[in-house]
Structure 1
């Protein structure tokens, strides 16, 4: 009996270790291979890949200003990652994040200056964050209701609403919220003193704390609460969820609203922390860029923080390295695309290896 008590936990620990090792390998291997392939592309362009990656690390991680820029870049990406985790865990493809992001940003930019002029800065910022999240959530109601009650494919509807949201935001900037004191079509600029406070006398916006809190809360809600369990059941098998008596349509709408609200909040954080205004035709297109990071993290919030950090280093450092070495500015997206393709290939080969003995 004593032997049995000792062996059972040991076997479970060994299985857990093997599973964790495989998950880490499948997550990191595509990144390493993608960097190697990207290095081969750099060689074909006549650029030394070691020098290029050295600049990326120097500008995005090792220099004080570069590191601060990396952490600041993480703020909206973390909120968008949290948004996508909620949607994907519920089995929903919310691909309208760019429209929700931009409308949330525009709302915060339009409301910020007048609110800051009549309210304490903290109250004005809080209201802007709430309104930005609310506008993002409202913009997703139509795709949510169509998916929940009519079964309409949300991939199509969210992409269409994203396109409409981006175009509508540009129209509002040019015709409704334009700052008439400038020649460039943009909203009024929120003064630096009225923006989100900086951390520890650096250029890092406190928006990164909002992003970290949001993604940790999402992870805990998804994994530790009854509501999160219901969302995961719906995402795993909607028909089984119906037979289990779960209110699937309401859960789908709730997941959509939470996901879109976080995307709108990401836009508000970017404006209130960094940009200060919205210019015409401005669209950083962060949402679709975050999708592969969330897949690399296996929809895990804590792992998503790590991958968002890596991407931020690559993004900030890559911008400087590309300018210095004559590499196209979109080369970072090539690396992300390679990572995504290799991730899919690794998942396919890993699945075949595990199912082979059973078959």
Structure 2
């Protein structure tokens, strides 16, 4: 008589665990996988209207990005700045701050590194040159974020507006610096002096993959661990969840706000430095890869989880590298990958709205 209730209780517990795991799997599928699939379907419909076979297009993307050694190495190299951008976004978003000035901060960081590295390479050891250039890039981006940070921390000014405005201004300032103060007089194309290939970030052994990807991986894993495993991360999450409650428990919210902005922008500036020091070697006038806003949906798809963001960054990197090859073969505009990102944003917003309504319905 005593065994049956225990068995029943065990079966009930197993059923609860199974149902909880099932609900979690469904939630992950709906919020993380479904938006990507729907965005691919919508973009495929656009390709069909353009007279291109979507399956052929996606096939070329996969083939180029993963099936050829050069393509896969290019895909991994492209991940480096995107991972650093993702780390900067996760840090800001988890603290409840919207740092949308990514492109301006990225370009100022890239310009600072490009301006500093070539002359220093003539007199300093290369490891020290690379380190100094990265520090300069981080400092330039962090300083550029100071005004929006102070306005938010001490006057409550909406950081979405100020960071976007500073981003546009940062792009213009960077372009002006390239054309004037840091112009290479020996070239006909407006650009900074070029850092020699031998002086750039070394590739991983036996490949053409920039070692900048290791910097990106370390940064995003470190941010993930800080935000989820440390008391400092807990304080930032409290500030993001309820700033008034954070003030009542004694947290210095204005100081933390400025610190988070500076750290987030510094990671974005480091992304610019890694792209220049590892791949391009210089900054050309009017160059802007616009990586910043493209990473935002990836971070939200990952639910601000650093480890999951790595997977989505790999997906987006493969899409960008493969799309370049597919565009040449099929006559599709090279910027079509941005159409997919736009569709991803739209679908993500719809899924989030439906998810919120579903939570409300289940509670009522």
TM-score w.r.t. the length of structure 1 is 0.96
What is the SS of the residue equivalent to 1:328? Answer: coil
Count residues in correspondence.
359
Aligned 8 A contact 2:30 2:351 in 1: no
1:31 to 17, 33, 36: 36
- The within-5 A match list for 1:99-248 is 99-248=104-253
2:290 to 282, 285, 293: 285
What is the SS of the residue equivalent to 1:118? Answer: coil
Pair 1:11–1:278, CA change in 2 (3 A): same
2:321 is the counterpart of 1:324: no
Q: Distance in 1 between matches of 2:78 and 2:233?
A: 28
**RMSD (Å) for aligned C-alpha atoms:** 1.7
Q: Distance in 1 between matches of 2:128 and 2:19?
A: 52
Segments of 5+ residues of structure 2 without an aligned counterpart are none
Q: Distance in 1 between matches of 2:318 and 2:83?
A: 14
Give CA-to-partner distance per residue, 1:54-96, whole Å, 9 cap, x none. Answer: 1001111111111111001100000000010011101111011
Q: Distance in 2 between matches of 1:105 and 1:358?
A: 49
- Regions of 4+ moved over 3 Å: 1-14
Aligned 8 A contact 2:84 2:270 in 1: yes
TM-score w.r.t. the length of structure 2 is 0.95
Q: Distance in 2 between matches of 1:243 and 1:125?
A: 44
Q: Distance in 1 between matches of 2:333 and 2:258?
A: 41
Q: Which residue of 1 aligns with 2:93?
A: 88
Deviation at 1:17, TM superposition (A): 5.2
Deviation at 1:346, TM superposition (A): 1.3
Give CA-to-partner distance per residue, 1:89-109, whole Å, 9 cap, x none. Answer: 011110111111111101110
Deviation at 1:11, TM superposition (A): 3.8
Q: Distance in 2 between matches of 1:137 and 1:2?
A: 60
Deviation at 1:19, TM superposition (A): 2.1
Q: Distance in 2 between matches of 1:349 and 1:153?
A: 27
Give CA-to-partner distance per residue, 1:262-310, whole Å, 9 cap, x none. Answer: 0000000000000100111111111111111111111110110000000
Q: Distance in 2 between matches of 1:106 and 1:358?
A: 51
